[in-house]
Amino acid sequence: MNTKPSSNRRLLAYALVYKYRIIAAILILCCAVVAELGGPYIIKTIIDGHLSLDEGDMTPVLALLGGYLGLLVLAGAANFSQSYLLQSTSLQIIKNMRMDLMRHVQRIPIRYFDNTPIGQIVSRIANDTEAIRDLFMSFMATFIVSILQLAGIYTALFILDYRLALFCLILPPIFVLIMYVHLKYSKGYITIMRARLSDMNATINESIAVMPIVQAFRREKKTLEEFEVLNEDRYVNQVKQFRVFSLSSRNAVGTIGALVTAMVVWYFGGNALDGAIRFGVFYIFIDYLGRIFNPIIGIFDQLTNAQRAFVAADKVFGIMDMEGVEVEDASSAKRPEGAVKFDNVSFGYKDGENVLKGISFEARKGETVALVGHTGSGKSSIMNLLLGFYEPGEGAITIDGRNVANTSKQELRKHMGIVLQDPFLFAGDIKFNVSLYNERISPEQVKQALRDVGASTFVEQLPGGYDEPVVERGSTLSAGQRQLISFARALAFDPAILILDEATASIDSETEGLIQRALKVVSEGRTTFVIAHRLSTIREADQILVLHRGEIVERGNHDTLMALGGRYYKMYQLQKGERVAV
């Protein structure tokens, strides 16, 4: 049974946070409506001649005209005030919603991002919240204004002449029926349009991220064709939705309004000429009748925005309903010794398909443990479990005897450092990419970390030195340079546990030598895990684990495994280019 509140209720909950501002705007709006509707009454008084005028004395008329102008000024000021209050409140509501969504995205498990295109998530945070903004900024303001205006107009109509007012009561049911038809047929088109926009964002993000591959393999035409299919589908549904909108909004309201006005003029106009209805009453009634259609048209114009917002809200709240883990404060977390133990751990990304089977090993404080094996053997999965990105299906992982399942993720990762095969650099400068604005890391520590990994030589030769700007992903630097900065980042945080996930794969032999010398210094007293394809880089490891199809098939140091003559021996000989007997 689904106990989660509907999107409508949750949108209302966001609005109710600012209920006093909304109520104040409505009260100001009421003043604006009274002022607007009071003007025609003054004109009616003048037309019907309800003034005691001395010969040549226009003072009462001028006083009424002055009052009319005053009402116009009051209505303008009130309309501005209520509009400002509603619009600023709407912006505040969406700001809060966008921050809530962004906070929750930080809490969602990594597994979600493995199966969801980045462009779709970006679309939820940027496009969908913007669509909801239109609901609060446009539809909410228009709806409230229109309802109050209609209430005021019908009140005035009944005061003027109940027969004319009763005749005009046929309009609201007709417009409600038209709105119902409009909403019923356009919702499906809008849902498809929002889905296609999300798919297009995902396609754009993917194609830009891998543009070198797209161009290298001449996939430009195919990429355009895939995008054109999505774009065309969105265009077709958008045209259909506009067709429904055009037939049911201004067109229908305008036609019905003209017919009703003509009927009123034809039927009641003769009575006014015959004296059954005063001409001033008839004038003001026609004025108010014309005002009925403006709020109706305003509501119709915003129905599309409202539907788009409700569809977007379903997507946004769908993400916010996902189970997440709170980002806890780990400032007081103690630095661990670094003793890591895997006890009969099994894990699979999909139920029933384990990629790790009964993994057991122990890394003592200060040891270097290397993981080797063919692609897909489970090396990176072990590190993902250690970092807490996933939870093991069976078994337990402990650090200093403490089960990581009982440790907050922030506390777990605070004293871990990781260097990936494909290093990511943020937009900023080199200092920022090493310290990530951590207050505990001084500029001198940043420089020292870069010196330790051998990166200071090329950094100091850059035009800006340590302040050299870095574009997103560090595309202006070589792969080796980006990797060295990534190493410096890990070392600057002084982790108790250091993870190198094939970190030397994209580095030349000379740079690799610099890193190997630096690692001998920084790994002292620090538990280090190394995932490596280059077996020459792990000869000094205290323990080497050879994985095959999710199981540890060999373990020991380099000399022990070479003497064993098994899988590790064959891999090492193949990398050296020697013939191995199979």
Over residues 284-294, the mean pLDDT reads 76
Are both 500 and 570 inside the same structural domain?
yes
Tell me, what amino acid is at 376?
G
Note the pLDDT of residue 229: 93
The answer to whether position 581 is within a domain reads no
Helix (H, G, I), strand (E, B) or coil at 361: strand
In the numeric block, which tokens belong to residue 165? 């007012």
What value does the mean pLDDT take over residues 257-284?
Answer: 66
pLDDT at position 518 over 80: no
- The pLDDT score that the predictor gives to residue 31 is 81
CATH code, domain with 457: 3.40.50.300
Give residue 205's Cα distance to chain centre.
14
346 and 223 co-located in one domain: no
Residues 103 and 100: their CA atoms lie apart, in Å, by 5
Of 320, 353, 374, which closes a domain?
A: 320
Exposed / middle / buried, residue 226 (Cβ in 10 Å: 0-12, 13-18, 19+): middle
Instruction: Give the domain extent around 221.
Output: 7-320
Mean pLDDT of all residues in 394-403: 92
**What value does the mean pLDDT take over residues 369-379?**
90
- pLDDT at site 3: 57
What's residue 346's pLDDT?
95
Average pLDDT over residues 95-105: 90
Tens digit of pLDDT for each residue in 34-67?
777 666 666 656 555 555 555 555 666 677 677 7
Task: Identify the band that residue 109 occupies on the pLDDT scale cut at 50, 70 and 90.
Answer: confident
Q: Can you tell me the distance from the alpha carbon of 283 to that of 164, in angstroms, rounded to the nearest whole number?
A: 12
Distance CA 490, CA 253 (A): 66
Provide the pLDDT for residue 148: 79
Q: In what order do the strands lie in the sheet with 543-548?
A: 416-419, 497-501, 527-531, 368-372, 543-548, 551-556
- Does residue 330 fall inside a structural domain? no
Residue 88's Cβ-count burial label (10 Å; 0-12, 13-18, 19+) is middle
Residue 325 within a domain: no
Which DSSP string do the residues of 373-419 spell out, in sequence order?
-STTSSHHHHHHHHTTSS--SEEEEEETTEEGGGS-HHHHHHTEEEE
Asked if residue 271 has pLDDT above 60, the reply is no
Q: Which helix (H) or strand (E) holds 540?
A: none
- The answer to whether residues 344 and 487 belong to one domain is yes
Same domain, 462 and 532: yes
523 closest CA partner among 533, 512, 515, 531: 515
Q: How far is CA 427 from the centre of its chain?
A: 20
Residue 335 domain flag: no
Q: Of 422, 411, 425, 414, nearest to 494 (Cα)?
A: 414
Pick the last residue of a domain from 291, 320, 349.
Answer: 320
Cα within 13 Å of Cα(568), Cβ side: 26
Q: Is residue 331 part of a domain?
A: no
**Is 530 contained in some domain?**
yes
What dihedral do alpha carbons 290, 296, 298, 299 form, nearest 10°?
A: 170
Q: Where are the alpha helices (DSSP H) in 436-566?
A: 443-452, 456-460, 479-492, 509-522, 558-564
Give the pLDDT confidence score for residue 582 in this predicted structure: 42
Give the pLDDT of residue 44. 59
CB 434 within 8 A of CB 446: yes
For residues 505 and 350, is the Cβ–Cβ distance under 8 A? Answer: no
Task: Name the residue with higher pLDDT: 340 or 478.
Answer: 340
How many CB atoms are located within 10 Å of the residue 411 CB? 19
What tens digit of pLDDT does each residue of 154-197 get? 887 787 777 777 877 888 888 888 888 888 888 888 888 888 88
pLDDT in tens, 2-26: 556 677 788 888 888 888 888 888 8
Same domain flag for 247 and 365: no
Residues 572 and 432 in one domain: yes
Domains: count for the chain: 2
Nearest to 206 by CA among 193, 219, 195: 219
pLDDT at position 581 is 46
- In angstroms, the CA 487 to CA 133 distance is 43
For the whole prediction, is pTM greater than 0.75? no
Q: 194 and 234 in one domain? A: yes
Whether residue 260 contacts residue 310, with contact meaning beta carbons closer than 8 Å, is answered with no
| Residue 520, φ and ψ in degrees, nearest 5 | -65, -30
Tens-digit pLDDT profile for residues 550-570: 999 999 999 999 999 999 999
pLDDT for position 559: 92
Q: What is the per-residue pLDDT for 25?
A: 81
- Look at residue 333 and tell me if it is in a domain: no
Judgement on whether residues 36 and 158 belong to the same structural domain of the protein = yes
Residue with tokens 């543009």: 211
Q: What Å distances lie between residue 360 and 366, 378, 382, 403, 553, CA to CA? A: 19, 13, 11, 14, 11
What count of other Cβ atoms lies within 10 Å of the Cβ of residue 12? 12
Domain co-membership, 216 together with 122? yes
In a domain, 326, yes or no: no
CATH at residue 131: 1.20.1560.10
Answer yes or no: are the C-beta atoms of 401 and 339 closer than 8 Å: yes
- Give the mean pLDDT of the chain: 81
Q: What is the mean pLDDT of residues 135-162?
A: 77
Same domain, 290 and 404: no
Q: How confident is the model at residue 382, as a pLDDT?
A: 93
Highest averaged pLDDT of the listed ranges 224-238, 325-339, 507-521: 224-238
Residue 395 has pLDDT above 90, yes or no: yes
- What 3-state class would DSSP assign to 363? strand
- Are 344 and 316 contained in the same domain? no
Q: Give the distance, in angstroms, between the CA of residue 12 and the centroid of all CA atoms in the same chain.
A: 20
| pLDDT above 70: residue 496 | yes
Asked if residue 1 has pLDDT above 50, the reply is no
Q: Are residues 263 and 361 in the same domain?
A: no
Residue 275 has pLDDT above 70, yes or no: no
Which of 173-187, 279-293, 443-457, 505-519 shows the lowest mean pLDDT across its residues?
A: 505-519
